[in-house]
Structure 1
Amino acid sequence: MLKLALGYSMSSFFFGLFGVDWEAVDEKIEKLYPAVSSISIDELAQEGQSASRPIVIDVREPAEFAVSHLSAAKNLETSVDIAARFLDKQAPIVVYCSVGYRSAAVAAELELMGYSNVRNLHRSIFEWAEKGYQLRSANGVAAKIHPYNFAWGRIG
């Protein structure tokens, strides 16, 4: 499990510090993007080992991706970037960000563009790390996660 220098778990530290909890994140995503399907961390970890594994896309900014990302992830920030790279609209795609909000928005846009097999990674990279799954960085194995963006917690 990734830890901060002070010894706090990543999600506990950020969500405690900024007053954001997982239930609030989940409610916000469900309210704004009710048609977007999700996949759990454990389900993606299992599917990632199968021959028919999905395309995994990190929609965070390149600086965030460089610090930490899922090992099989491609870094494409927008639905337009994804559509330009992946033309098969039936291909299984999983998108993620820090907590799932940005990726839910991208998933919704992809669905509007005709992609039929897109899922949002529920609670995204923070929960992936919290559950102890490995992350990569530009230099190999990630030792930390790019910090939470405080402005996100003020989305209302």
Structure 2
Amino acid sequence: MPLTRAAFACFSLFALSACGQTEPGQAGMTSPTYARMLQALYRNTVPTIKPAELVRELSRPTAPQLLDARSPAEFRVSHLRGARFVNYDSLATEQFAGLDRSRPVVVYCSVGYRSERLGERLHALGFKNVRNLYGGLFEWVNQNYPVYNAQGLTQNVHPYSAMWGPWLKNGRKVYE
């Protein structure tokens, strides 16, 4: 089966990463290789928000609602404080009862692909102010922002799979 353009781009960038060919990123900056991989993955159907901007918005009284579109195991290992888990596998049937449609929503997953699908679903259900965390939880952690689990602050991050793990530069990789 031929690779799609996005899959080929991701595979090529992964191969560069695995071979040590990625450019080093500056503190607080997305690495150029990671940015190219994200550009290949994203459909640009949901506006993005950078981690630093989300940090500022979370300190406001009208902070956005956070939705995590990863697997239950990934969410258990760590997530953004206050995030609500949304099982990606049941996205097509989720109605998001109890979610305040008048407040902004920020969706995220490991790198932003699954959360972009979640954002598309929210748009289809009439949500107007939905953004996708650029680079996902990996970029959040790579820029040294905190993650939490049921016990509190943690360094643990579920890297989704061994193939995606190299994009996670900070934190402690934990496969549950």
> Which protein has greater RCO, CA pairs closer than 8 Å, 6+ apart?
1
Q: 2:34 aligns with which of 21, 24, 36?
A: 21
Q: Which residue of 2 aligns with 1:75?
A: 85
**Structure 1, unpaired ranges of 5+:** 1-12
Measured in 1, the distance between the counterparts of 2:77 and 2:71 equals: 10
Give the structure 1 partner of residue 73 of structure 2. 63
CA contact (8 A) 2:65 2:106 kept: yes
Contact 1:79-1:107 at 8 Å conserved across structures: no
Unaligned runs of 5+ in 2: 1-13, 23-32, 166-176
Residue 92 (1) aligns with residue 93 (2)? no
Which TM-score applies when normalising by structure 2?
Answer: 0.68
Does residue 140 (structure 1) correspond to residue 173 (structure 2)? The answer is no
Alignment CA distance shift 1:72-1:82 (3 Å): farther
SS in 2 for 1:56: strand
Distance 1:50 1:79 in 2: 31
The residue that corresponds to 1:119 in the other structure is 131
**Counterpart residue type for residue 17 of structure 2:** G
How far apart in 1 are the matches of 2:104 and 2:93?
17
What TM-score do the two structures reach when normalised by structure 1? 0.76
User: SS at 1:85's partner residue?
Assistant: coil
Identity level (%): 36
Which protein shows a greater Rg? 2
Partner amino acid, structure 2, of 1:134: P
**1:22/1:105 CA distance change after superposition, 3 Å:** same
Give the structure 2 partner of residue 9 of structure 1: none
How far has the Cα of 1:140 moved from its partner? 1.7
Alpha-carbon distance change, 82 to 51 in structure 1, aligned in 2, over 3 angstroms: farther
SS at match of 1:83: coil
Matched to 2:41, the amino acid is K
Aligned length: 137
